[in-house]
Amino acid sequence: MASSLAEDLVCPICLAFFQEPHMLGCGHNFCLACLRSAVPAGQEEGTCPECRDPFQLRELKRNRALGSLAKKVGRWRGDQEEPLPPGSAALGQWHFCEAHDEPLKLFCTQDEAPLCVICRDLPQHRGHDFLPTKNAVHLAQGKLKAYLKHLEKQLEETTKDKTDQLKEIGALKKCTEDLLGYIAEGFEALHQILHKKEQAIKQMVENMMEKNIEEMEDSFISLNAEVSSRTETIAKVKAALEAADHVAFLKGLKELMKQVKTDHQGEIEDYEEAEEKSDDESDGKSDKDESDEQCEGSYCEDEEGEDYERGDRVVLVELALENFGESLDFETWKKMLKGIKPRKVALDCKLQRI
């Protein structure tokens, strides 16, 4: 019913509540201003915008009842008496109670909801406070305006915080990138120090080895020459001992003895002294002397089975080199390196490059 009433009070041309409505001979009603605009300038005759029947401006009759009703409904709705702009939805601005089909003219401050006059008198709203719709709107808009300033301020602050947060994210990425580079450079320096230490220790060992092996090689060359000389002398002695020609043997004996004494002077002298001592001793000999006699003509061995002269002629591995590994305390160094950890400090991007 309310919708039908609203439709009857709206001008078909301007779609607003009637302002000075006039009725044509065909029975259709229009605002006076709308009818005058429908007639061509300088003419007095036009056609009905709905049924196209002709009409004369001088024959128009004012519909006072319709105009009065339109004004009353406009005041009832709280609308201004001025006509709505062309094309505005007048019907959409008029709200009715779904339960009672009455206009929502009141606002319940407790329930914060618009009501009609019938809803106001119901038990569930008894004792509540009510405001006219216009007053409630004005009050609510005042509150919203105050909230709006606060919200806009918060939005401005939040937007600034958002921008600052984005900057901090970029700063964190840059800080992390610089820190990772700083760590890489620091450990690269440590690697270089360890590498230099490794090379220095290896060089030290190689120098000790070169000095030791030089002495060993000199001794080896000397011993090799001695072996060759002894082998050659032994071969000559064996050849002389096996010679069947005694005269020839005696002729070469002087030269052979000279060579034996020249090449092995020390051993020959020791042998001759042992022979002389043996001649001075009595015929009764101890078991040890018998053992010494069995050694005649050869190099005797001591109780441990080693040559008498071996300790003076063989160059041994340098004792310092042999025990060098004990000075390399790798386990302690490992523990020290594993114990390296950063101090618990705040992240600082102001790094000093090493």
Element (H, E) at 335: helix 330-338
Nearest to 256 by CA among 274, 275, 241: 241
**Distance in angstroms (rounded) separating the CA atoms of residues 299 and 306:** 10
Sheet of strand 61-62, all strands in order from the earlier edge strand to the far edge: 29-31, 21-23, 61-62
Residue closest to 81 by CA, chosen among 101, 60, 67, 95: 67
**Residue 196: its pLDDT value, please?**
94
At residue 209, the pLDDT reads: 93
- Residue range 194-229, pLDDT digits in tens: 999 999 999 999 999 999 999 999 999 988 988 888
Judge residue 31's burial from the number of C-beta atoms within 10 Å of its C-beta, 0-12 exposed, 13-18 middle, 19 or more buried. Answer: buried
Query: What per-residue string of b and e applies to 117-132 under the rule 16 or more CB within 10 Å gives b?
Result: eebeeeeebeeeebee
Do 83 and 19 touch, CB atoms closer than 8 A? yes
What's residue 299's pLDDT? 43
CB atoms within 10 A of CB 66: 17
* pTM for the full predicted model: 0.45
Where in the sequence of the chain do the CATH 3.30.40.10 domains occur? 2-94
| Contact call for residues 237 and 260 (beta carbons, < 8 A) | yes
The pLDDT of residue 214 is 92
Buried b (16+ CB within 10 A) or exposed e, 271-291: eeeeeeeeeeeeeeeeeeeee
Taking the CA atoms of 26, 28, 30 and 34 in sequence, report the sign of the dihedral they define: negative
User: Residue 15: its pLDDT value, please?
Assistant: 79
The pLDDT, as a whole number, for residue 83 is 44
What are the strands of the beta sheet with 130-132, ordered from one edge?
113-115, 106-108, 130-132
- Specify the DSSP element, H or E, that contains 259: helix 246-263
Write down how long the chain is: 354
Residue segments in the chain with a per-residue pLDDT below the cut of 70: 1-7, 74-94, 264-311, 344-354
Question: To the nearest whole number, what is the mean pLDDT of the chain?
Answer: 80
**Residue 240 DSSP class:** H
Cα-Cα-Cα-Cα dihedral sign, residues 193, 198, 203, 204: positive
Question: Does the 2-94 domain belong in CATH 3.40.50.150?
Answer: no
Question: Which tokens sit at 153?
Answer: 């301020």
The pLDDT of residue 80 is 44
- Cα distance between residue 265 and residue 260, in whole Å: 7
Q: Which residue has 């109780």 as its token pair?
A: 303
